[in-house]
Structure 1
């Protein structure tokens, strides 16, 4: 079995240089890295990462925490895409990923405690920001490195986080509907325990009030970020005496449920009701009709979270950062200018 010394001899470098190449040390030139890696490949040498972890007191692993059971979360294309971004970021630094798999909040908390207390990971990325999340408090008390995807509910100046300006994005898409002549605009949001839902609701409300439109409580519906959530929201909104002419939906998967239910009820999008959404996952492009949606750059959110997590691990004195990933509104065929006759013909 090949050793570090064998690799060093073949590559004509010191054994310590081989170790630095394995650790992807930035001080080693790319030319030397290529030579050493070619020697490793030729000899079939594979580093013993467990032994290295014990020596370095580092696992070179990062924990991932999703907001609900994996079965439920992975129904939403947001999570595979953000994990793809995180994977790219950790792979570049030769870190691995470990995911929490709890079914409930308590089980997720227990799983993270095991990661932290058992020193199984060097840092944790939370793929959500929850109101009064006990997990965030625990990690802060432990002084354990972590990054949040989303805006922290509190202690925002003390926690590195990667986010979009969800307030501004929701305000802009609502203004887009107002510009098209809509006055009866409903908001279909996710769970109000998540900060992203609150930010998007506040942005929607600001646009409504700025336009001197009536803010109606019955136009605000909160469901799960799932297809079924969108379906339930439509049933509720279109049983109203004055149903909306446009919908701001906080998530593309929910919006797919919205489109399906509207079609079942014989309500045409966009002729009878306009729909805008968030995330710009593949679903939004292939839905019927294709959705106008906010592209929040999910992959980049994940990549930035991983990059900053590793920076905190490797440079513990790194100051807190707020990374805002830009968004853009992608206009498709789910919105048109409002004409009163449309709704009256339903």
Structure 2
């Protein structure tokens, strides 16, 4: 026997239109009535025809999440798993589903987003990174499609964003290392076309320049070099006569790779090289040595982004277009006072 909305209304002692409003999440229905109707729906085993409802309301009750790499690689990084957990938590509580799409290049990301938008498969999209002159963001703006960026877009300060103050975070890390007596401080960067990499590099440079130190090109290590041959990249860094005694590292996964290479070459952390990473990976406190890291509140980045997007798709005007999640430095054994000159 198929249970209908009329059956639910009769048993709950309300009108069918009231049941419809409860199903759609209307705030015009009291909490007591909503609770009563939902109990009856559960007792009768009634499941709303969401597809039909969505055709009428022109909503999908689904938000999209764009992962900027393939899923197998992305979920090895605590950032992507934790931010997704925050997004999913907020979306589920609001009755929304989450649809994940991936792209290994800017063009693949654009193609994935275009399919979501043109097919009207989601009500809004969350992006997890931005590039300088980002074509995906430009496309979403042209389509007037709701989206939130976790990060910052330098060319479009008016878009909805949730972010850390990455310039300040990298500045704080560099100042911490300076206060430990280090003067030759290097920077291990992510791809420089990413805004987060550029922002953290800016904070790093600003702290050194305020201390009267000119960052040297030879103190810089990129993700691409480390991925291609971590040991060779570290050897080139350590063979310099003015080699760094400390490194600001873009994220903890990169820090793990650098620690392994330093150990293979016979160097010790922090005696020969102090290391300070980002994202506070769960493995960082138990690595050898425990890695100093910046807690950027990854889960809360996802939570805030989902909340901001859901308000946007409902047509609500947000109180602020850029939400900043605070960061926190967690010094551990990998960043100690300088031991070599």
How many angstroms apart in 2 are the aligned matches of 1:4 and 1:228? Answer: 61
Counterpart residue number, 1:58: 59
Counterpart residue number, 2:145: 144
Cα distance 1:10–1:196, how it changes in 2: closer, same or farther (>3 A)?
same
Counterpart residue number, 2:328: 328
Q: CA RMSD in A?
A: 2.0
TM-score, L = length of structure 2:
0.94
How many angstroms apart in 2 are the aligned matches of 1:225 and 1:145? Answer: 37
Q: Gapped runs of 5+ residues in structure 1?
A: none
How many angstroms apart in 2 are the aligned matches of 1:58 and 1:170? Answer: 41
How many angstroms apart in 2 are the aligned matches of 1:225 and 1:78? Answer: 22
Determine whether 1:312 maps to 2:309: no
Aligned residues of 2:231 and 2:265 also touching (Cα < 8 A): no
How many angstroms apart in 2 are the aligned matches of 1:229 and 1:292? Answer: 24
How many angstroms apart in 2 are the aligned matches of 1:141 and 1:320? Answer: 22
1:24 offset after TM fit, Å? 2.6
Q: Deviation digits for residues 131-171 of structure 1, max 9, x if unmatched? A: 11111111111111111000113111x20100000000100
Cα distance 1:225–1:237, how it changes in 2: closer, same or farther (>3 A)?
closer
**Equivalent runs, 1:251-266 vs 2, <5 Å:** 251-266=251-266
TM-score, L = length of structure 1:
0.92
Q: Deviation digits for residues 219-247 of structure 1, max 9, x if unmatched? A: 11221598778666434422323321111
1:317 offset after TM fit, Å? 5.1
SS, match of residue 120 in structure 1: coil
1:264 offset after TM fit, Å? 1.5
SS, match of residue 186 in structure 2: strand
Aligned residues of 2:205 and 2:215 also touching (Cα < 8 A): yes
Q: Gapped runs of 5+ residues in structure 2?
A: none
How many angstroms apart in 1 are the aligned matches of 2:50 and 2:205? Answer: 52
SS, match of residue 100 in structure 1: strand
Cα distance 1:30–1:291, how it changes in 2: closer, same or farther (>3 A)?
farther
Aligned residues of 2:226 and 2:233 also touching (Cα < 8 A): no
Counterpart residue number, 2:188: 188
**Equivalent runs, 1:30-179 vs 2, <5 Å:** 30-156=31-157, 158-179=158-179
How many angstroms apart in 2 are the aligned matches of 1:143 and 1:277? Answer: 37
SS, match of residue 125 in structure 2: strand
Cα distance 1:196–1:97, how it changes in 2: closer, same or farther (>3 A)?
same
